[in-house]
Structure 1
Amino acid sequence: MKKILLVEDDLSLIEGLKFFLLKQGFNVAVARTVKEANDYFHRFEFHLILLDLMLPDGSGFDLCKTVRQTSEVPIIFLTASDEEANVVMGLDIGGDDYMTKPLKLNELISRMNATWRRSGYVNEQSAELNSNGIIVRLLEGRALKNGVDLDLTAVEYRLLCLFMQHPNYVLSKEQIMQKLWDNRESFIDDNTLAVYISRLRDKIEDDPRKPSFLTTIRGLGYKWSTKQGDLS
């Protein structure tokens, strides 16, 4: 699921645009100020930023400059018709495209897709999982928590990837064992799985005795519960 950061302060536009993007299958975070947008950007990974030029505490230009210091995430500016002359400046400092309001929603989707094709950013991001302060770099076979490498066994790493690839989705014990071992290891049973889950929690949870990431859903299985506002 592609993750979009919508930076806009017009409530009527926010409601309509967020509803439309959610229906298209995107995950959407909304920031109404530069400060809120900076907070989201530094906490989560996004596939694209829709960025209004004029915000209550600054301009979209300022945020664009900040983003470009560390990221190549595509940015599409949203601008009123009388601000269109400023777009050249936005493109010069790192914006990828712009649209004038009122937005034509189908055109917006086309421009988003075109931006992704040009940048290749989504393909790069698909090699990384990110939630709850944990990052898994699939191409490197590494997992980090708050920037520090996690010392995981092969089974623990596979478990972590499986859960992070299915956020907020309950996986039954049977599903986990089938996906993880593909019936090649007949000695794996419920008790063995519970041991692996416990060991993984010891390494990833802030408090393994009260797990908040890898939670047990009694009678159903296990779930990777993302933090409130987490977009993974």
Structure 2
Amino acid sequence: MSHILIVEDESHLADLERDYLKQAGFDVTVINRGDEAAQWLQKNEPDLVVLDLMLPGKDGLDICRDLRKSSELPVIMTTAKVEEVDRLIGLEIGADDYLCKPFSLRELVARVKAVLRRYSSSVEAESQPQSGQLVISENDTRACFGKSCTELTIVEVRLLMLLRKHPRQIFSRDQIIDGIYDDRRVVSDRTVDSHIKKLRKKLQEINPEHNYIQSVYGAGYRYDAEEI
């Protein structure tokens, strides 16, 4: 039984979400404050988080951003803010889906099932790498192509996984800083460029036929998902 965490400060809505998800066969935990949810997630690992954007204590964007520094846990963000910029920000920091209030509770259940299916398929595919596929290992900080492997730093692993999760999406240097560093105040654009340069060199050593990280002039960097 999949375990769903609902982080929602509107108690009535949270109760309805919990009831619908339980009827659909999920185990559900409800937390009403963002700071309490962040603490809970440090000790627990649900299968998916339904995360409201505007929360007391700590907002949903910060929670999602912190999660993405160490976890691929699926996240569906919910919010009453419908501006396009908010929708893009939510997805750029790693949310898997987005629902604008008011939304159908049946749609919520459908979205939860769809995201869990995609996540399960992705995990299964990564556990059975094919020849010609770049494989990233977080546990021993390595990247391998076929039988060739290269050692990465922790920051390089974070950087590579951030870009790879959103192939062909352009990431600005600021977005990269926010995505891989705990404290962006001590990091400059030149630091990002230096990490990109070193990471590229390492990847080219194990697969010189493919340029995984591409520069986009005046915009940033993106991951080329077309693997040989």
Q: TM-score, normalised by structure 2?
A: 0.51
Give the match's secondary structure for 2:71: coil
Q: 2:23 — aligned with what?
A: 23
Conserved 8 A contact 2:65-2:93: yes
How much does 1:85 deviate?
Answer: 3.6
In structure 2, the CA distance between the partners of 1:95 and 1:54, relative to structure 1 (3 Å rule), is same
- 5 Å-filtered alignment, 1:72-221, equals 72-83=72-83, 85-120=85-120
**CA–CA distance in structure 1, aligned partners of residues 83 and 59 of structure 2:** 12
Q: Deviations over 1:158-188 (max 9, x none)?
A: xxxxxxxxxxxxxxxxxxxxxxxxxxxxxxx
Say whether residues 1:62 and 2:62 are aligned partners: yes
What is the deviation of 1:123? 6.0
Tell me by how many angstroms 1:118 deviates: 2.1
Match of residue 7 from structure 1: 7
Aligned pairs, how many? 125
**Which residue identity does 2:77 align to in structure 1?**
F
Q: RCO (CA 8 Å, sep 6+): is it higher in 1 or 2?
A: 1
RMSD over aligned Cα, in angstroms?
Answer: 2.1
The 2-side partners of 1:96 and 1:26 are apart by 19
Query: For the structure 1 residues 83 and 54, does the alpha-carbon distance in structure 2 shift closer, same or farther, using more than 3 Å as the test?
Result: farther
Which residue is 2:43 aligned to? 43
Q: Name which one, 1 or 2, has greater alpha-carbon Rg.
A: 1
Unaligned runs of 5+ in 2: 125-228
Write the letter of the residue equivalent to 2:35: K
Q: Is the 8 A contact 1:84 1:100 kept in 2?
A: no
Identity of aligned residues (%): 41
TM normalised by structure 1 equals: 0.50
CA contact (8 A) 2:33 2:57 kept: yes
Q: Determine if contact 1:47/1:121 at 8 Å carries over to the other structure.
A: no
